[in-house]
Amino acid sequence: MRLFITGTDTDVGKTAATAALAAALAERGTVVAAKPVASGVPAGRAGDDAEALGRAAGHPPVIHTTYRAPLSPHRAARQEGRPLDEPGLLAWVQALSADHVLVEGVGGWCVPLSEELWVRDLARAAADDVVVVAADRIGVLNHTLLTVDAVRRDGFRVLGVVLNRGIPTAEDDPSPSTNADDLRMLLDVPVVVLEHFDEAGAAREGRRLLGAISVIRSSARSGEA
């Protein structure tokens, strides 16, 4: 299995969802859970996201490029005067090898990584199948529908939407009581609610996510046969 995990925005829970999937897949074979590019990372560090993915998958952090400024990578690279090695990055992602390969994106689907390379290009080097992560808060319907549409227009298959409830929301936001139902009505892919979990519960949550997206994968394989 090769999956690319994208989000409707930054800080919506991509790392939590990827870590859960990694922990569950580690029970079924070898796993690589990679964060190819990250910004807002202190010099000499792999970054919190890559470290969390490594712990869940049982390997050291797997990351290609980091930038210090908490900006879009293309802007952070310009500030540091250190352009992204585009061919090197894509080759690195394509070479990731294990029974299961998970690649987490940066921000949302339409984030520029450089002047020429975008998150969707990173996804193309990683996998054909995409999981979309969204925060369970007001605005999620529009953000999720736009993201799913964009991913599909770029030629990828969306295996499911992870609606993350581990992100703090405004106390007066009533939408979490209806967001999951509305997304299930508006989309033709599984919508799985991800509750807050600690590292000990990662595999359990990951098994739930896998159970949902495997329906789409099985249907696709039947259609190809």
* Local structure of residue 30 (DSSP, 8 states): -
DSSP readout, 119-141? Answer: HHHHHHHH-SEEEEEEESSTTHH
pLDDT confidence of residue 112: 96
pLDDT digits 0-9 by tens, 18-71: 999 999 999 999 999 999 999 999 999 999 999 999 999 999 999 999 999 999
Q: How far apart are CA 186 and CA 87, in angstroms?
A: 38
Digit-coded pLDDT (tens) for 167-223: 777 777 899 899 999 999 999 999 999 988 888 889 999 999 999 887 555 444 444
| Contact assessment for residue 105 and residue 131, using Cβ atoms and an 8 Å cutoff | no
In order, the DSSP letters of 145-206 are HHHHHHHHHTTPEEEEEEEE--S---TT--GGGTHHHHHHHH-SS-EEEE----GGGHHHHH
What pLDDT score does 215 carry? 55
pLDDT grade for 224, boundaries at 50, 70 and 90: very low
169 vs 15, higher pLDDT: 15
Q: Going from the N-terminus, what domains does the chain have, and what CATH number goes with each?
A: 2-224 (3.40.50.300)
Distance, CA of 225 to CA of 18 (rounded, Å): 29
Torsion, Cα 112 116 119 120, to 10 degrees, reads 130
Q: What angle do CA 70, 5, 122 make, to 5 degrees?
A: 70
Cβ atoms of 19 and 53 within 8 Å: the answer is yes
Burial (CB < 10 A; 0-12, 13-18, 19+), residue 195, is exposed
Token couple for 63: 């990351």
Q: Residue 184 burial (CB < 10 Å; 0-12/13-18/19+)?
A: middle
What is the reported pLDDT for 176? 86
Place of tokens 């190809």: 224
Rounded Cα distance between 220 and 130, Å, is 14
| Backbone region of residue 40 per phi and psi (left: phi > 0; alpha: psi in -120 to 50; beta: other values) | left
Kindly list the catalytic residues: 35
CA 148 to CA 143: how far, in whole Å? 9
| pLDDT, tens digit (0-9, with 9 covering 90-100), for 113-141 | 999 999 999 999 999 999 999 999 999 99
